[in-house]
Amino acid sequence: MIEYENLNKVNAPYFEEYKKSFADVLDSGWFVLGKNVEAFESEFANYLGAEHCVGVASGLDALTLSIMALDLDAGSEIIVPSNTYIATIMSILQCGHKPILVEPCIETYNINPELIVKSITAKTKAILVVHLYGKPCEMDAILQICKERDLFLLEDCAQAHGAEYKGKKVGTFGHLSAFSFYPTKNLGCLGDGGAVVTNNAEYAAKVKMLRNYGSNKKYHNLLLGLNSRLDEVQAAFLRIKLQHLDNINKHKQRLANLYLQGIKGDYILPQVTPSTTDVYHIFNVRHKKRDLLQQYLLDNGVKTEIHYPIPPHRQPAMKFLHGMDFPISEQIHTTTLSLPISTFHAEEDVDFVIGLLNAFKC
Ligand SMILES: *Cc1c(COP(=O)(O)O)cnc(C)c1O
């Protein structure tokens, strides 16, 4: 059986280092926001080429805190892709703003800059882009729109640690950017974690307060914040994993290239664009008979996933979107299938999957 994901195997190479750093944290007696969090924040900012990083409790909180830092008027409109993980849209709602869903390009699965322009109104205050599956968005076009229309830019980098657009890492384009360190992400910890990244010192200081009850001095609360702190154990694990992130991404890129070159026939493969270095958090193919294909692969010993089976505008929690039409998003949701591409998969595993795909008849 070729598994889709196995977090024991993903983390096994770091067990010895993790055990040592866990023992150090245990001995220190200091567990929330401490030396490891500070060190990780500066190491991750440095890795990205950004000025500031603020560790928080999750990717969703990183998004929410980024929006909170902008201090937008209640009910402001924020443009967001119609095909994203639900957290992106939830963060906008949590802040009391209105998500305006914009369709992706069918080739890249990322938000379509031409459709962004058509969705801007007098109430639009920000664009929240998502570098879906680990592929950076069309940043030149999006930056141009933000400049011309005087809009804030936010980036959801939860699937794109280390991905680059024209040689510059994602997370360094927006006013604020959000990362998740959920265990399955390319840079994953052993629980929940996230970070806000920014080049602006004021935003960084504000997010630091907002993550800690709006306080920058014990028992003095300046803002209405959250409790969304990164803990020392996770930060210590992340410092170790960060040293391996480039190798993790290279391994996934190598497997992706095998898929790209080996898969023949009736499949729509991810687009390769010269302007982007993709990190393949997910490697998807699209096929008209997706469900039959998934069952066929399973019957032959290969587990796959669907990212995502239900689009945000059809989720019970998103009633205000019901009845709206997002045909491109639906087309992706009904045809996409995510293939095994984890760090523990070998080239032979991928060759086996390619062989099955090329023999699929329907
Ligand atoms: C994982 C993910 C999030 C949320 O991150 P959590 O750490 O699970 O809160 C947000 N956006 C995208 C695109 C994601 O993939």
What are the domain boundaries of the chain? Answer: 7-242, 245-359
Record the tokens describing residue 15, joined without a space. Answer: 């067990």
Q: 180 C-alpha vs ligand 1 centroid, how far in Å? A: 6
Please answer whether residues 175 and 154 qualify as being in contact, where contact means their C-beta atoms are separated by less than 8 angstroms.
yes
| Ligand 1 pocket mutation, candidates 80, 84, 180, 189, criterion most atoms within 8 A of CB | 180
Q: Which of 347, 151, 126, 180 lies closest to 254 in space, CA to CA? A: 347
pLDDT given for residue 231 in this prediction: 97
3-state secondary structure of 319: helix
Q: In percent, how much of the chain has pLDDT > 90?
A: 99
Cα(310) to centroid(ligand 1), Å: 16
Q: Give the C-alpha separation, 111 to 72, whole Å.
A: 22
Residues 6+ apart with CB under 8 A from 275: 136, 138, 140, 165, 166
Distance in Å, CA 171 to ligand 1 centroid? 14
Global pTM?
0.98
Predicted confidence (pLDDT) per residue in 86-100, tens digit: 999 999 999 999 999
Rounded distance, CA 218 to CA 209, Å?
Answer: 11
Q: How far is the CA of 185 from the centre of ligand 1 (A)?
A: 9
Long-range contacts of 324-331 (CB under 8 A, 24+ apart): 324/101, 326/82, 326/83, 326/101, 326/103, 327/103, 328/82, 328/83, 328/103, 328/104, 328/105, 328/106, 329/82, 329/83, 329/101, 329/103, 329/104, 331/106
Residue 298: what are its φ and ψ, rounded to 5°? -65, -45
Please enumerate in sequence order all residues whose Cβ is within 8 A of that of 2, keeping only pairs 6 or more positions apart, or say none.
301, 302, 303, 340, 345, 349, 352, 353
- CATH of the structural domain 7-242, one choice from 3.90.330.10, 3.40.50.2300, 3.40.640.10, 3.40.50.1100: 3.40.640.10
Contacts of 19 (CB under 8 A, 6+ apart): none
DSSP-assigned states of every residue in 162-230:
T-EETTEETTSSSSEEEEE--TTSSS--SS--EEEEES-HHHHHHHHHHTBTTEEETTEE-S---B-PP
Quick: pLDDT tens for 175-189.
999 999 999 999 999
Nearest residue CA, atom 2 of ligand 1? 158
Query: How far apart (Å, rounded) are the C-alpha atoms in residues 247 and 293?
Result: 31
Element (DSSP H or E) covering residue 270: none
Q: How far apart are the first and last CA of the chain?
A: 23
Query: Residue 362 — pLDDT band, cuts 50, 70, 90?
Result: confident
Nearest-angstrom CA–CA distance, 254 and 250 = 6
Residue 237, helix vs strand vs coil: helix
Q: Name the burial class of residue 15, with classes exposed (0-12), middle (13-18) and buried (19+) by CB atoms within 10 angstroms of its CB.
A: exposed
265 dihedral zone (left: phi>0; alpha: psi -120 to 50; beta): left
How many angstroms from the chain centroid is the CA of residue 138? 16
Percentage, residues of the chain above pLDDT 70: 100
* Distance between Cα 152 and ligand 1 center (Å): 21
Q: ∠ at Cα 59 (224, 21), nearest 5°?
A: 105
**Cβ < 6 Å from ligand 1: which residues?**
58-60, 84-85, 87-88, 130, 156, 158-159, 180, 182, 192, 194
Rounded to whole angstroms, the Cα distance separating 236 from 221 reads 28
pLDDT of residue 302: 98
- Dump pLDDT digits (tens) for 234-277: 999 999 999 999 999 999 999 999 999 999 999 999 999 999 99
**Superfamily of the domain at 245-359:** Aspartate Aminotransferase, domain 1 (3.90.1150.10)
- H helical segments located in the chain: 7-11, 15-28, 35-48, 59-70, 86-94, 113-119, 139-149, 201-210, 232-242, 245-262, 290-299, 327-335, 347-359
Q: Which residue's alpha carbon is at the smallest distance from atom 6 of ligand 1? A: 59
Q: What is the pLDDT of residues 273-308, one digit of tens each?
A: 999 999 999 999 999 999 999 999 999 999 999 999
